[in-house]
């Protein structure tokens, strides 16, 4: 198996996994709302992050069709991992601040997942230019 297929497939799988996680969390978030509020919450709290995760999946698919990027694959993955860790650390700081000031971690898993989704997509997309 060629490296670009393996690396691209991994990114594709990560993007699909993140999109699925975002959808599950979106359904959990709208449970407390009624009527048209559910649609608004889903449209503005979930849909953008699902689309961002799907961009990661698209980049992964695209890399499987681009053998010219073969030498750049370790750099692309490194940018993705580094950016994911950076955004996850920002999420941790936000959650720490929320715990200190409000003594709660309400919405903590949503904040962390959103930051990880954005971080992974940002790093991988940035490195493919």
State the Cα–Cα distance between residues 92 and 97, nearest whole angstrom: 8
- Residue 31: pLDDT over 90: no
The secondary structure element, H or E, covering residue 100 is helix 73-102
pTM score: 0.89
pLDDT value at residue 87: 96
Give me Rg for the CA atoms of the chain.
Answer: 16
Nearest CA among 43, 57, 50 for reference residue 23: 50
Tokens 């992964």 correspond to what residue?
60
State the Cα–Cα distance between residues 67 and 62, nearest whole angstrom: 10
Q: For the segment 86-96, what is each residue's pLDDT rounded down to a tens digit?
A: 999 999 999 99
State the Cα–Cα distance between residues 114 and 112, nearest whole angstrom: 5
Q: Are 81 and 62 in contact (CB under 8 A)?
A: no
Q: What is the average pLDDT score of the chain?
A: 91
- Residue 124: pLDDT over 80: yes
State the Cα–Cα distance between residues 79 and 126, nearest whole angstrom: 8
State the Cα–Cα distance between residues 119 and 88, nearest whole angstrom: 8
121 pLDDT tier (thresholds 50, 70, 90):
very high
């Amino acid at each position: 198996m060629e490296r670009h297929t393996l690396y691209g497939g991994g990114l594709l799988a990560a993007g699909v996994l993140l999109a699925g996680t975002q959808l599950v969390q979106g359904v959990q978030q709208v449970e407390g709302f009624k009527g048209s509020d559910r649609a608004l919450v889903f449209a503005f709290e979930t849909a953008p992050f699902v689309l961002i995760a799907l961009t990661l999946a698209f980049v992964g698919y695209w890399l499987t069709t681009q053998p010219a990027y073969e030498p750049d694959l370790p750099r692309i993955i490194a940018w993705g991992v580094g950016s994911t860790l950076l955004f996850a650390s920002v999420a941790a700081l936000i959650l720490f601040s929320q715990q200190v000031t409000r003594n709660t971690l309400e919405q903590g898993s949503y904040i962390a997942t959103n930051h990880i989704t954005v971080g992974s997509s940002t790093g991988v997309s940035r490195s493919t230019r």
